[in-house]
Structure 1
Amino acid sequence: MCATGANALRPDPAALVAWGSNFAPYTLDGEPWRLLTGAFVHIGFPHLLSNMVVLLLLGRTTERLYGNLRFLALYLFAAVSGGIVSILMHPGVNSAGASGAIFGVAGALLAFVLRYRKELPAELAARNRRAMLVFILYSLYRGLVQHGVDNAAHFGGLVGGVLIGALLARPLTEEARERSSRPSAIAATTAAVLFLAALSWPLTHLNPDRLQEASFDRLLIELQPAQKKTLADVIAWSHSRIASQIERDAASNRIITQLLPEWDAMYAKVESAPLPPGSRYVPLRATMLRYLDDNRRMYRLAAVLLAHPQELDAAAFAPIRALAKDAHAQIDEIKRLAPQLRGNPARR
C-alpha cells in the first residue's frame, strides 16, 4: 500500500478499498473475495503491528494444538465469517484488519481446552481458558465503547472459530489423532459449508434502505480522487498570469472548459445518488450539494469578470467573496457531519 502512495499511519478509505477492504457496496457487487482479503488489509502500520503481536501470542499455541493446515483453515474461515457478519450488521462500514480471524483463533483455542480439558495438564487448561475468556470479553467490551472498531467482525470471527475449532480439534495422543483426523475434517468441512450457506440468504437480501446508504458511502469514497484533482486544478489555475487581457481570456476559458465541468460532474453525481426518506445522510448530501454549487457559481462569476475587465470593481467581487465564505462554512459542516455516519473505516 505504501508503495502506491498510501499513508503508512492512516491510509484513506479509497486506498483501503483499492487494496481489498471489506465494504458491502463492492463486496456484494461482484467482489465477494473482499470477505477474505479484508483480513489482510490494515488501517496503517500501528493497526497491523498490534494485530500481529496478538496473533503471535495466540497463534503459536493454537497452531501446535491443531496442526499447520487445520490452523490455516480455521483462520481463513474465521476471517470470512467475520467479514459476513460485519456486512450483515453494518453494510456501510469500510472494514479492514485481521482481528476477526484472530478472534477465531482465540475461539478455537478456547474450544480445544474445553473439549480436551481432561487430556491437558489441569493448570495449563485452566490458565488458557481464563486467558481466552478475559481476552474475548475485554476485547468485545472495548469494541463497544471505542469508536471505529468493527465489533461485528470480531463476533463473527469468534463464532466461526469456535464452531470450526471444536470440530477440527483432535486428541493429543498420536493414535487417537490419526483415528479422528478424517472424520473431524469431514465434519468441519460440512459445518463450514452449511454455515456459509445459511448466511448467504441474508447476505444477498439486505435491507434496501441500508444498501442505498452504503452506496452513498461508496460514492463518497469514489469522489475523493475527483475532488483532489479539481482542487489541484484550482490551485494551478490560481497561479495563472492575468496581467494582460489575453491572459485573462485564457484564464476565463480554462474555468469554462476545465474547472466548471469538474464541479458540475461532482454535483451531478451527488444530486443523483438515491437515499431513503429520513436517512441520516440527507443533511450531509444537502451540505455537499450546497458546497459544490457555491464553487460552481463562484467560478462561473470569475470567468465572466475575467472576460469583462471593465466590470471589475469592489461590488463585482462581493458575490464571489460571499460564495467563498459560504463554501468554507459548508466544509466545516461536512467535517462535523461525516464522522457521525458509517462510511468511515473500521478496524478489526
Structure 2
Amino acid sequence: MNFPSLPSLSTRVFSLKPRGWPYFLSLAISLLVTLIFAYSIPPAPMKPVLFSILLAMVFFAAWKQWRKGLRMKIGFGLLSIKTPIELAFPIANIAHISIDPKGTLRFTLYDENNSSPESAASRLKGNFSRFGWNLEISGVGLTTARELCKAVNTVPEEIPAELAAELSSNRMDSFQQSLIKNHPYIFATWLLLAGNFGFFAWISFNGVSPWQPELPNLITWGANYAPLTAQGEAWRLLSSIFLHLGMVHLLMNMFVLWRLGPLLERMLGSVPFAITWFLTGLAGSEASLYWNEMRVSAGASGALFGMIGCLLGYLLGRPRSIPQEILRQFRSMAITLLLFNFLFMAFLEGIDQAAHAGGALAGIACGVFLGMPYGTHPRFSRYLRNCSLAAVGGFFLWSCWVPLQAKVVRDSALVLRFEQFQKEEFPLLEKLNQYSQAQNRGEIARGELAMKVEVEILPRWREFHDWFADPPKVPTHFQPWFADFQKYLQLRQEAMELLIQALRGNDFLLMKRSNARAEEASRLVEKINRDIKEKDR
C-alpha cells in the first residue's frame, strides 16, 4: 500500500527488537529443570525417549517465544511492526496513545484504512469496536514505552491500573482483576503451599532423600499403603496428599496449585475451596487404594485433578460466569496437563492414574454442587452450602471407605504375611547356619543339632509354608514370581527335614540330598530376586 505523503513529525529512528539474554536465560532454566526432572525419574526402558520428547518441547517453546517477540521500527514518519503481527502506518495517523503502569501502550488511529497490509484494517477496526483502541503493544516496560512515545512525538495519557484492566485485550488479566476486587484476600492456597513445602522440608531435614526417596521412608512418613492404611492407619489417606515423591514431583504439583489456586479460590470462596481440596484429595486416595492394590502412593495430584474437575463442574452450572476468551485459555491449560499426564503414563510406570481419576470425578461433583444458584439470602445460603458440601462429601467418602477397608484387609493379608516372612527369614536361616558351623567345629553333637533344627527352626518354617500354600488371592505384583516362591519354601522345608533324618541316622546319602535341596532353593531365590528387579525396572 502506498501511504499518502505526510510531513514527518520526527526524523529520529527508533527500533525495538527482542533482547537475546532473557530468552537464553529462560531456555537455560528450562533445560536445567528438565535435567533435574530426568535425574529424579527412576530408571526405565523408555526414559531416554521421554527425555528426548521433553527436550524437543523445551526447544520448540523457546523458538516459538523468540519468534513472537516484538520487532518494531519507527523512522521517517512511519511506524512498522514485523512480529508478532505485520503492520505499518504513518506516525501522523496516530490520534491518541495511552500508557498504563505496566508499560502497555494502546494506540488510537485517525483512519484504520491508512495502514498496511490491507488486511490489517479489519483487525484494527475490530479492536476499536471491542476495546476502544486500535493497537496494543505490551511487554516493553514503562521506560521503553515512554521512549517510544517520544519517537512518535506524542505525549501519552497515563491511565491507572484499574482502567488498564478494563481496556486490556488480555481477558485473563481483566477477569483476575475483577476477582481480586471482589475477593482481595485468599488464604487457603497459600496455606496449602506452605503446608506442602513445609512438610517436604521437615522430612528432608530428618533424612529422607529430596530427589529419590526410598519406599520405606515414604511409608514411615505417611504414604498411602494399603496393608497399613486399612489396618487402623486411615490417616494415611490424608497425610499422603502432603507427601511427595521427590523435589520435582513437589514443584510440578505446587506450580499447578500456584497457577490455578488463587483464581479458583476467588471464584468459589476460601472455605469451599479448602473443603473441595480435601474431599477430592481423599477421594483420590480411596480410588488409588481400590485400584492399585499394594502400590505406595503419595502426592497432591489427586487433589489437583479434583480442582480442575471442580472448575469444569462449576462451569456446567454457571456457563456464563467466565468470559469465552478465558474458557479457551483454561481449555488449553487442561489439554496441556492431560497431554503431559498421558505422556508420563505411556513412558513411565507408577503414575497413579486411579488417584487422578478419583479426584477429578469428585471435583466435578463438588463443582456442580457449588455452581448451584444461591437462595434469597446469599450469606446464609453460602454458609448452608459449605456445611452441606462438607457433610455430604464426608458421608459419601465414609460410606465408600467401610466396604473398601474390608476389601483391602482381605486382599492385603498375604502382603502382610510376606513382609513378616521377610523380617524373620534371614535370622532363621542365620541361626541354622550358626548351629551347623558349631556342629562342624565339634561344639555340639549331631543329635543336638537335629533337635535344635526340629524344635527351633522347622516349626516356624512350616508355618511360613502353610501361610502361602493356597492363598485366596495373589496380588498382581506377586504373580510373576509367586509360584517360584512357593517352591522355594517347599525346598527349604524338605532340606531341613532331610537334614534332621541324616543327622539322626548318620546317613550320608540323606545329607547329600538335603544339601542338594538347599542349593536348589538358593538358586531359586536368585531367580526370584532377578524377576523382582526386572519387574521394578
Q: Specify the alignment match of 1:270 in structure 2.
A: 468
**Deviation per residue, 1:287-312 (Å, 9 max, x gap):** 3232112112223434455567x655
**Deviation per residue, 1:145-170 (Å, 9 max, x gap):** 64333311111012223333555589
Q: Select between 192-201 and 55-64 the one with higher mean Cα deviation.
A: 192-201
Q: Select between 238-247 and 321-330 the one with higher mean Cα deviation.
A: 238-247
Whose relative contact order is higher, 1 or 2, with alpha carbons under 8 Å and at least 6 apart?
Answer: 1
Q: Return 5+ residue gaps in structure 2 as ranges.
A: 1-202
2: CA distance, partners of 1:136 / 1:113: 19
Q: Specify the alignment match of 1:96 in structure 2.
A: 297
- CA distance 1:51–1:202, change in 2 (3 Å): same
Alignment of 1:1-348 (within 5 A): 9=212, 11-12=214-215, 20-24=222-226, 27-28=229-230, 31-40=233-242, 47-65=245-263, 66=265, 69-90=271-292, 92-98=293-299, 99-108=301-310, 126-140=328-342, 142-143=344-345, 146-165=348-367, 167=369, 181-189=382-390, 191-193=392-394, 195-196=396-397, 199=400, 203=404, 213-234=411-432, 236-237=434-435, 240=438, 242-244=440-442, 246=444, 251-271=449-469, 273-275=471-473, 285-305=482-502, 311=507, 315=509, 317-332=511-526, 334-335=528-529
1: CA distance, partners of 2:372 / 2:380: 9
Q: For the aligned residues, what is the CA RMSD?
A: 4.7
Q: Residue type of the partner of 2:521?
A: A
Q: Residue type of the partner of 1:264?
A: R
2: CA distance, partners of 1:55 / 1:148: 16
- CA distance 1:163–1:228, change in 2 (3 Å): farther
**Deviation per residue, 1:39-94 (Å, 9 max, x gap):** 3455xxxx23233112220222344231655443222212211122234434x233
Q: TM-score, normalised by structure 2?
A: 0.48
Whose strand fraction is larger, Structure 1's or Structure 2's?
A: 2
2: CA distance, partners of 1:2 / 1:238: 44
**Deviation per residue, 1:242-269 (Å, 9 max, x gap):** 3225366665444333332332221122
1: CA distance, partners of 2:533 / 2:423: 19
Residue pair 2:313, 2:366 contacting (<8 A) in 1 also: no
Whose helix fraction is larger, Structure 1's or Structure 2's?
A: 1
Q: TM-score, normalised by structure 1?
A: 0.69
Q: Specify the alignment match of 2:142 in structure 1.
A: none
Q: Select between 145-154 and 298-307 the one with higher mean Cα deviation.
A: 298-307
- CA distance 1:258–1:106, change in 2 (3 Å): farther
Residue pair 1:110, 1:129 contacting (<8 A) in 2 also: no
**Deviation per residue, 1:201-250 (Å, 9 max, x gap):** 864786xxx98554333433343222343344456556647322536666
**Deviation per residue, 1:96-135 (Å, 9 max, x gap):** 1122223224434566788788776876654344223321
Q: Specify the alignment match of 1:174 in structure 2.
A: none
Q: Which has the larger radius of gyration?
A: 2
2: CA distance, partners of 1:216 / 1:123: 54
Instruction: Provide the secondary structure at the position in 2 that maps to 1:147.
Output: coil
- CA distance 1:268–1:316, change in 2 (3 Å): closer
Q: Return 5+ residue gaps in structure 1 as ranges.
A: 172-176
Work out the percentage of aligned pairs sharing the same amino acid: 22
